Amino acid sequence: MESVVIDIVLDHKKKTIYRNFKGLVKTEEICESWQQILALREFTGMGYHLLTDYSDAEFDFPISKTDDIWTCLFNIKNLLTNRKEAVIAVTPYNTAVNMLFEKDSYRLLNYWVKTFSTREAALEWLMK
């Protein structure tokens, strides 16, 4: 699998930001992509939710490196409060990693994260 490509697309009708990862993903790239999200007024000022799609990606880091992602999220905690992120993960490892965030993100950050295997299910949850 090749190095990561990250596409960010806005859907103004659904008030959703799509963040699509393709390739091998490192924790640094996840954190760097947050800087792109934070640069969007749709996220910081207009209440858009986030749909992150790892369907065409593979995490290239051990579970122990997820602490780096938690650090990134804690640094922007005030911008995540009461927001929702639907995550699409199809490989067992990607799903397991995302479920770790799903388990603790609301308790620690007041940020809802939920993992799905399809875009349809993810969007349905975001629109609720």
Which distant-in-sequence residues (6+ apart) come within 8 Å of 23 by Cβ?
A: 1, 2, 3, 4, 5, 56, 57, 58
Q: How high is the pLDDT of residue 47? A: 92
- Domain containing 105 — which CATH number? 3.30.750.24
- How does the average pLDDT of the chain come out, rounded? 96
Tell me the residue range of the domain where 42 lies. 5-127
**Residue written as tokens 């051990």?**
62
Per-residue pLDDT band at 3 (split at 50, 70, 90): confident
For residues 28 and 26, give the distance between their C-alpha atoms in angstroms, rounded to a whole number.
Answer: 5
Burial degree of 50 (CB within 10 A; 0-12, 13-18, 19+): buried
Does 124 have pLDDT greater than 80? yes
Tokens coding 2: 């090749």
For residues 48 and 59, give the distance between their C-alpha atoms in angstroms, rounded to a whole number.
Answer: 26
For residues 78 and 76, give the distance between their C-alpha atoms in angstroms, rounded to a whole number.
Answer: 6
Q: How high is the pLDDT of residue 2? A: 77
Q: How high is the pLDDT of residue 97? A: 97
Which distant-in-sequence residues (6+ apart) come within 8 Å of 17 by Cβ?
A: 8, 9, 10, 11, 37, 40, 42, 43, 48, 49, 50, 51
Residue range 12-33: mean pLDDT, rounded: 97
How confident is the model over 45-74, as pLDDT tens digits?
999 999 999 999 999 999 999 999 999 999
Does 1 have pLDDT greater than 90? no
Q: How many domains does the chain have?
A: 1
